[in-house]
Amino acid sequence: MNKTICVYSSSSCAIDPAYFEIARKLGKEIADRQDTLLFGGGMVGLMGAVAESVHEAQGKIIGVIPKALNLQGIVYEYCDELIVTEGLRERKAVMDARSDAFISLPGGYGTLEETLEIITLKQLKYHNKPIVILNANHFYDDLLAQFTTIIARNFAKPESERLYFITDSVTNALKYIDAYTPYPFDDKWFTYVEST
């Protein structure tokens, strides 16, 4: 069954070309699978690279962009569907609702915020969709170390690691989404952490 895959990623162009390579690979594989890319609607940075790669492989693209950024030179103009929202909060709500899965490429503050929010929403059982952190070139190593600290110091239970999947491989990311089975978290697993 074809899926709509939300990709969070950087809008910066001043980054290592290796990140653009993995973004383009992800876009091509999404298109080759006849899945749909849903993304933040921008034409620059990794966002633009993913979208262009999907487009070149004749895949389908849904862009979601706040009206303040719906400007020539910023918005990716070749989306099959472009949704313009009032602001960033509405944008994220649309992205959450329309997506079957989420992949986080490397990115800045916005990408990090989107990633942590979609993990938190899953933790609180607002959704039970697959989430992948694509740790290209060890970009997320420090964040993942902080996740380990959170668990080690009892700010979260060990089961929280099942909220997301970590890989440096585009192929493995998409295989995980295909094979995803929701983990049966206990109703109170996220609200009470036993002291050791």
* pLDDT tens digits, 183-196: 888 766 555 444 44
How far is residue 84's CA from residue 144's CA, in Å, rounded to a whole number?
33
How far is residue 136's CA from residue 166's CA, in Å, rounded to a whole number?
10
Q: What CA dihedral angle connects 24, 26, 27 and 29, to 10 degrees?
A: 120
How far is residue 55's CA from residue 86's CA, in Å, rounded to a whole number?
26
- Res 185: pLDDT: 82
- Res 192: pLDDT: 47
- Res 117: pLDDT: 97
How far is residue 167's CA from residue 169's CA, in Å, rounded to a whole number?
5
- Res 118: pLDDT: 97
Helix (H), strand (E) at residue 20: helix 17-32
To which residue do tokens 């990311």 refer? 173
Q: What is the pTM of this model?
A: 0.93
- Res 22: pLDDT: 97
How far is residue 28's CA from residue 49's CA, in Å, rounded to a whole number?
10
- Res 190: pLDDT: 52
| Domain spans of the chain, in order of start | 4-179
Put residue 167 in one of left, alpha, beta given phi > 0 → left and psi -120 to 50 → alpha.
Answer: beta
The distance from CA 88 to its chain's CA centroid, rounded to whole angstroms, is 15
65 contacts 75 by C-beta, under 8 angstroms: yes
User: Which class is domain 4-179?
Assistant: alpha beta
- Could you read off the pLDDT tens digit of each residue along the chain, which spans 196 residues? 799 999 999 999 999 999 999 999 999 999 999 999 999 999 999 999 999 999 999 999 999 999 999 999 999 999 999 999 999 999 999 999 999 999 999 999 999 999 999 999 999 999 999 999 999 999 999 999 999 999 999 999 999 999 999 999 999 999 999 999 998 887 665 554 444 4
